Amino acid sequence: MSLWRSVGDKITRWFEDSSHKALLVTGARQVGKTYAVREFVSTHYESVLEINFVETPQAKAIFEGNLDARTLVANLTAFSGRPLVPGASAVFLDEVQECPRARTAIKFLVDDGRFDYIESGSLLGVLYRDVPSLPVGYENVVRMVPLSLQEFFVALGVQPETFALLEDCYERRREVPSAVHERMLRLTRLYLACGGMPAAVDQLVRTQDLARVLSVQRDIVELYRLDIARYAPNKPHVKAIFDAMPSEIMGTNKRFTLRSLAPTARMERYASDFMWVVDAGVALPCYNVRAPQVPLTLNEQHNLFKLYPCDVGLLGAMFEQSVQFQLVQGDAGVNNGALLETLAAQELVANGYDLRYFDKSKYGEVDFVLPHGSSVLPVEIKSGESYRRHKSLNNVMGVSEWGIGEGLVFCQGNVQVDRSICYLPWYMLMFCKANNEEPLLVSW
């Protein structure tokens, strides 16, 4: 089946940009990069030359000689076996991490200007292979992530009118009609079990069989482990970090502790291994801040962090026992807190945020703090019925010098405002978006 992906809008903006650099689509394994590019080029070009360097390793020979545009275009045309039409053809280089010289060649091909060039590669390897000369200034980079909540809801049949209603309720802080609210809660619980990996979502939509979904998820987890064995410079360290993520995020304080890896582990020995997992796209770091004040970047403490898996469905699949069916049924015995917090982290990243939290013994812990104009927006994720109890959030909002005007609590309840606290259903995380793409115009 065809899954709607919002990344298509970003690819369209690249296509319409007059500067028209090459496009590099990156992301973790199995997030749908190749599919998204194929969908786009099939409707926007007369002809397309697709080269997958894993499936067709002999194609690397195209880039082994001189990297001048004349030689490269001749090699590409010869490999294609059919003419490429200037101004109407695209060259799609998939799994480009397997051919570092292809990325070096991009700057010469872009300067030549006869064709459009799209590269796709998993972060597993893209940042760790020897590229002779990176094409700085010649690539627009788009990072893909698993399906967001909205993309998942679309796949399950939620209509545009429903999204419009929900967004209006979010903006105006008014209650969602109860029937719609209950349906969206059920779909959110289903997302906890399925996650956003396209193959898992496709299996769910086609079969409604959570056992088959779990099988797909575990295959992806195993693929990640195989990639670690292939690409990671320090394989034992990286594998230990990857395997420890579920137990750490399910722990009491959810913070990643080095003792879980080895009794004598030190950050200086593991720092590059943590960054490898993050750069590979399989983990989302969330750093503690000294104070919930902007600029948050300057307040980050990189030695104190949480590490979320990139997809909540994969987190569930990494448990020893299957919890998928219990999640859909809303079983209170399942640790929904860690799963919902992972869902929130995943959704906030998809919506353009960097992840940060605040935790000090004097005040307690706030799950996420987001930049919000000249202040910050503290966010709590609540799994149970006692979502109105949030002492840490109250403590943080009570510090006048921090100037925090509103706090958000995402929970199972309907929309409600109680003074400076706004309670929102979990599914409304899809409307909590960063304003990274707003124009910043100046005049003189």
Domain residue ranges of the chain, discontinuous segments joined by + = 7-143, 149-431
> What are the residue ranges of helices labelled H in 173-331?
178-194, 198-207, 210-231, 235-249, 267-279, 296-299, 312-317, 324-329
pLDDT at position 74: 93
Query: How far is it, in rounded angstroms, from Cα 427 to Cα 443?
Result: 40
Query: How far is it, in rounded angstroms, from Cα 26 to Cα 141?
Result: 7
pLDDT at position 295: 92
pLDDT at position 133: 72
Query: How far is it, in rounded angstroms, from Cα 27 to Cα 281?
Result: 6
Residue 57 DSSP class: G
Report the CATH fold assignment for 7-143.
Rossmann fold (3.40.50)
Q: 70-101: string of b/e by CB count within 10 Å (b at 16+)?
A: eebbebbeeebeeebeeeebbbbbbbbbbbbb
pLDDT at position 394: 95
How many residues are present in the chain? 444
pLDDT at position 349: 97
pLDDT at position 308: 95
Instruction: Kindly report the backbone phi and psi dihedral angles of residue 426, in degrees, each rounded to the nearest multiple of 5, phi listed first.
Output: -55, -40
Query: How far is it, in rounded angstroms, from Cα 213 to Cα 418?
Result: 40
Please, what are the averages of pLDDT over each run of 10 residues along the chain (444 residues)?
A: 88 90 93 95 94 95 92 93 90 92 93 95 64 78 95 97 98 97 96 96 96 95 92 89 90 74 71 87 94 93 91 91 75 74 97 96 95 93 92 94 94 95 98 74 68
Query: How far is it, in rounded angstroms, from Cα 73 to Cα 86?
Result: 11
